[in-house]
Amino acid sequence: MNLVIATRNKKKVEEIRRILDGLDVNLYSLDDFPGCPEVEETEETFEGNAALKARAVAEYTGRAALADDSGLEVFALHGEPGVRSARYAGEGASDSDNLHKLLKELFAEPDYRRGARFVCVIALATPEGELTTFEGMVEGTIGEKPVGESGFGYDPVFYPEGHDRTFAEMGPAEKDSMSHRGRALQKLREYLESQTAA
């Protein structure tokens, strides 16, 4: 089976390859299809955006495509940054800009108001128009300052429930075992195994 990962984010591609390793699947990324247009995330839900990207890439490449939309929902901020996690500090914002804005928004919040969850929805689309989605979620809290060098996005401030280290302080295998994307990809992996075994 040929599968295109609908992203140019190298760290995301790395994470997906790691979790799907060992499957009888040839994985490609958008770097293998330089002409593929960027898909604008115009939907209001993670599922909507993931489906939009997966369908567009499957149609363009003529192969099954896998897209994810994920983000951080902070309870004290009524679910923000949510679907706008990557653009929280504005279009073209860096991870550092987004982190800085989040910490500023939460500056005066006490610990018990810093609850949050990471959500990931993965959409798998075929060129024939079939669509299947998989969701993963992990709850935790937002720290007061970035800690750790690994990961990307909001990893340096997110402490998963029951842990005293951020995602950015964890090695890849440890993070994959509990992260929102790890959980969604595990469901996708089981689905693909059942398809390739059939």
Domain count for the chain:
1
DSSP the chain: -EEEE----HHHHHHHHHHHTTSS-EEEEGGG-TTPPPPP---SSHHHHHHHHHHHHHHHHSSEEEEEEEEEEEGGGTTEEGGGGGGTTSTT--HHHHHHHHHHHTTT--GGG-EEEEEEEEEEE-TTS-EEEEEEEEEEEE-SS---SSS-TTGGGEEETT-SS-GGGS-HHHHHHHSHHHHHHHHHHHHHHHHHH-
Which tens digit of pLDDT belongs to each residue from 46-99? 999 999 999 999 999 999 999 999 999 999 999 999 999 999 999 889 999 999
* Catalytic residue set: 69
Residue 119: give its domain's CATH number: 3.90.950.10
Does pLDDT of 198 surpass 80?
Answer: no
Whole-model pTM: value is 0.90
> Which domain covers residue 76, as residue numbers?
2-197
